[in-house]
């Protein structure tokens, strides 16, 4: 049963990023940072880890002259997170 828990989601920050993306469409960097109350570097490293696992997709664009990074959950990510959630619920004996 423990094996169903996804190691990728062990960190609170990653759990947070996934939770936000599960109920929203594209969310940009600043908004995500404010929601999770974390630093730039922290968000950048965790989001790129999630991107590497294909759990989220990252969009980089320019708004005027400012670069803007946005995130969205992928199908794979959605499925993985849902499985992680039900594993969590089983573990606490729901």
Partner 1 sequence: MESKNYHEDLSHIRQMMEKSSRFISLSGLSGVFAGLVALVGAIYVYYVFQREGINYFDGNRNVFNQDLVKELILIGTVILILAILSGYFFTAKKSKEKNLKVWDKTTKRLLFNFSIPLVTGGLFCLGLLYHQLFVMVAPSTLIFYGLALVNAEKYTLTDVKYLGYCEIVLGLLSFFFLGWGLIFWAVGFGVLHVVYGLVMHRKYK
Task: Determine, following the binding rule CB under 8 A, whether residue 82 of this chain makes contact with partner 1.
Answer: no
Q: Which two tokens stand for residue 5?
A: 């828990």
User: Does 22 sit near partner 1 (CB under 8 A)?
Assistant: yes
80 binds partner 1 (CB under 8 A): no
Position 70 contacts partner 1 (CB under 8 A): no
- The CA-atom distances, in angstroms, between 20 and each of 23, 32, 35, 62, 63 are 6, 8, 8, 23, 23
Distance of closest approach, residue 8 Cβ to partner 1, in angstroms: 13
List 39, 45, 58, 91, residue binding partner 1 (CB under 8 A): 91
Q: For partner 1, which is the closer residue by CB, 22 or 76? A: 22
Q: Which two tokens stand for residue 82?
A: 């849902």
As a whole number of angstroms, the distance between CA 72 and CA 7 comes to: 20
């Amino acid at each position: 049963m423990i094996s169903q828990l996804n190691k990728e989601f062990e960190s609170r920050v990653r759990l947070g990023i996934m939770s936000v993306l599960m109920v929203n469409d594209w969310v940009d960097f600043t908004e995500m940072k404010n929601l999770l109350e974390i630093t730039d570097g922290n968000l950048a490293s965790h989001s790129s880890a999630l991107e590497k696992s294909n759990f989220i997709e990252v969009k980089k664009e320019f708004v005027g002259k400012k670069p803007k990074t946005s995130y969205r959950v992928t199908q794979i990510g959605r499925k993985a997170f849902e499985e992680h959630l039900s594993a969590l619920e089983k573990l606490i004996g729901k």
